[in-house]
Amino acid sequence: MTLTPEAVLREVFGYECFRPGQLEVIEAVLAGRDCIAVMPTGAGKSLTFQVPARLMPGTVLVLSPLISLMKDQVDALLDVGFRATAINSSLPREEWLERVEGLVRGDYEVAYLAPEALGGSLRSRLGDAPLSLVVVDEAHCISQWGHDFRPSYRRLRGLREELGDIPILALTATATRTVARDILRQLGMRSPSGYKGSFFRPNLVIRCRKKGEGNTRREILALIRRYEGDSGIVYCLSRRSVESTTEFLRQRGVRAVAYHAGLSDRERNEAQEAFARDDADVVVATIAFGMGIDKSNVRFVIHRDMPTDIESWYQEMGRAGRDGLPSECILFYSWADVKARERFLSEIESPEIRKEKQEATVRLFRVADADVCRHRAIVSHFGEEIEPCGSSCDVCTGVHVTDQVTELGPVTRSSTRRRPDSRRGHRAPGTDAGTAGERSPSHPLFQKLRTLRKRLADEQGVPAYIVFSDQVLWDMIEFQPSTLGQMLDVPGVGPAKLERYGDDFLRALKEDRLP
Ligand code: ADP
Ligand code: ZN
């Protein structure tokens, strides 16, 4: 019997159905075509190469910008039974050599590599490895027109010629048309198939608040206090405001840590680990904190200052709610912020690019300051048209930050009872994170499962969400599986995780049912 993508999805990953675009991209890849997929954060881009990795002979090589992110992805793959590895400069020499030899032998289904590594001796060895697909993750980093250009991505040029006829899959969450064209050209892709997903993410509840009309710090504190025990990120423009905001929050009992480029590697790692392991609830950070996180249960992202442009804003806020659950995104903005941003532009040599960047910040200001549905304004920037969201932004609901900070009592989750098949595609609008319901973080069984998850994760030295996402825990509570077979029906529980964690979670659920 030949294995199908659907079978891999079900039997390896434990998911019931593909999300929009996943199968299209997988089929293009399996047909040996070059492909570019532009899909928002959280859409499930990883599966578009992880499923083929199980189906194709040889190795899928994934070029990915951050070592910390690689480690999490490899852990997650190992956890569902893949042969996966990451080859990077943080490894001891011996180990590095061993993994490179393994790559050449074809030991791995998936191998992650940072673009930096393509400069050294490894590059010539790649030609000897039985590669079936090259994946360029965060592909917009190759373009100077994008908001996150990385010089190391220049090393990807010429790779196509060197490796021969291996298909390339470019993945990104934030390509405008100009950037997408630049990606294709620079990677030398040939008549690629393309998939562009919808950028509308109704589980993100977006609100904008003009600074200067209130006390920003106090408002941020009040917003965070509604999220006792949940994870969130506060983005600031400068290191100084990261430090002072962290201090302010800590003194008021928030478990916050600071993260910015001025800290030592060790300090930054500690902050990131503390956040990943739920030992800290809030990270206060400059944008230096970003692509390294793959945490699915971030419930809020607050911008204390304006980001550079709409793309950055959407990408940064998109770190909330990757598990699909309602999450809040709040932008504090001002014209002074726009002016402060201009200072950063002096480093850019090309006057053309500098001007474009300047205008991009002004466009963001206009969106924040306008009376148009936030979601509609954002996706229209990506060339997509939608009706006003109706329920997931301050303009549509009339619920503003000022209303929230005067409200009392803890916020609770959406009351929508979800069936597994409702995970397909977009969550229906109407999931405002401010509405009352049963999915409160203080739900006793949820807390119990969360504690169990943390213990199992700590035992293995992995972040909690690698074990199960919040969504999976909520589904366990909803479906109350009492056998391993029923547990396997919970979306997100595949055979590997069932074997590793199934008994522990069944026991916890059973204890809860005892009188
Ligand atoms: P992206 O890279 O596009 O930001 P990820 O690949 O990290 O998104 O996927 C986001 C989350 O969605 C992950 O927790 C992943 O396991 C989950 N996911 C992906 N595809 C599916 C699917 N078909 N059904 C259910 N969950 C999925
Ligand atoms: Zn709206």
Q: Could you report the per-residue pLDDT of 1-38, keeping only the tens digit for each?
A: 578 999 999 999 999 999 999 999 999 999 999 999 99
Q: Quick: pLDDT tens for 419-453.
A: 333 373 333 333 333 332 467 777 889 889 999 99
Mutate to test the pocket of ligand 1, among 322, 472, 489 (most ligand atoms within 8 A of CB): 322
Ligand 2 ion: residues within 5 Å (CB): 373, 388-389, 393, 396
Q: Indicate if the alpha-carbon torsion angle 78, 500, 473, 297 is positive or negative.
A: negative
Is the model more confident about 246 or about 178? 246
The CA 471 to ligand 2 mean position distance, Å, reads: 24
Q: Quick: pLDDT tens for 124-160.
A: 899 999 999 999 999 999 998 777 888 899 899 888 8
Please tell me the predicted confidence (pLDDT) of residue 293. Answer: 67
> Residues 134, 170: contact at Cβ < 8 Å?
no
3-state helix, strand, coil in the chain (%, to 5): 45, 15, 40
The CA 206 to ligand 2 mean position distance, Å, reads: 8
Position 85 pLDDT exceeds 70? yes
Please tell me the predicted confidence (pLDDT) of residue 371. Answer: 95
Lowest mean pLDDT across 105-109, 148-152, 189-193, 289-293: 289-293
Name the residue with tokens 């027109």: 145
The CA 22 to ligand 1 mean position distance, Å, reads: 10
Please tell me the predicted confidence (pLDDT) of residue 63. Answer: 96
Helix axes 351-369, 310-317, angle to 10 degrees: 60
Residue 473: CB partners within 8 Å, gap ≥ 6? 446, 449, 450, 453
Can you list the pairs that 101-109 forms with residues at least 24 positions away whose Cβ atoms lie under 8 Å? 103/59, 103/129, 104/128, 104/129, 106/58, 106/59, 106/130, 107/83, 108/59, 108/83, 108/84, 109/53, 109/54, 109/59, 109/60, 109/82, 109/83, 109/84
Please tell me the predicted confidence (pLDDT) of residue 291. Answer: 58
Residue 470's pLDDT band (boundaries 50, 70, 90)? Answer: confident
Please tell me the predicted confidence (pLDDT) of residue 438. Answer: 62
Angle at the Cα of 361 (from 359 to 432), degrees rounded to 5?
135
Q: Which ligand is nearest to the CA of 204?
A: 2
The CA 17 to ligand 2 mean position distance, Å, reads: 28
The CA 82 to ligand 1 mean position distance, Å, reads: 17
Position 408 pLDDT exceeds 50? no
> Residues 8, 54: contact at Cβ < 8 Å?
yes
> Residues 463, 274: contact at Cβ < 8 Å?
no
> Residues 213, 55: contact at Cβ < 8 Å?
no
Pocket of ligand 1 (CB under 6 A): 15, 18-19, 22, 39, 41-47, 296, 322, 423, 469, 491
Please tell me the predicted confidence (pLDDT) of residue 415. Answer: 32
Is the model more confident about 422 or about 111? 111
Locate the ligand 1 atom nearest the alpha carbon of residue 39 and give its number: 3
Please tell me the predicted confidence (pLDDT) of residue 366. Answer: 97
On average, the pLDDT of the chain sits at 88
- Nearest residue (CA) to ligand 1, atom 20: 44
Residue 308's pLDDT band (boundaries 50, 70, 90)? Answer: very high
Q: Quick: pLDDT tens for 331-388.
A: 999 999 999 888 888 888 888 888 888 999 999 999 999 999 999 999 998 888 999 9
Q: Distance from CA of residue 114 to its chain's centroid? A: 18
- Nearest residue (CA) to ligand 1, atom 9: 44
Locate the ligand 1 atom nearest the alpha carbon of residue 137 and give its number: 2
Residue 286's pLDDT band (boundaries 50, 70, 90)? Answer: very high
The CA 210 to ligand 2 mean position distance, Å, reads: 18
> Residues 396, 389: contact at Cβ < 8 Å?
yes
Average pLDDT over residues 158-166: 87
Please tell me the predicted confidence (pLDDT) of residue 426. Answer: 34
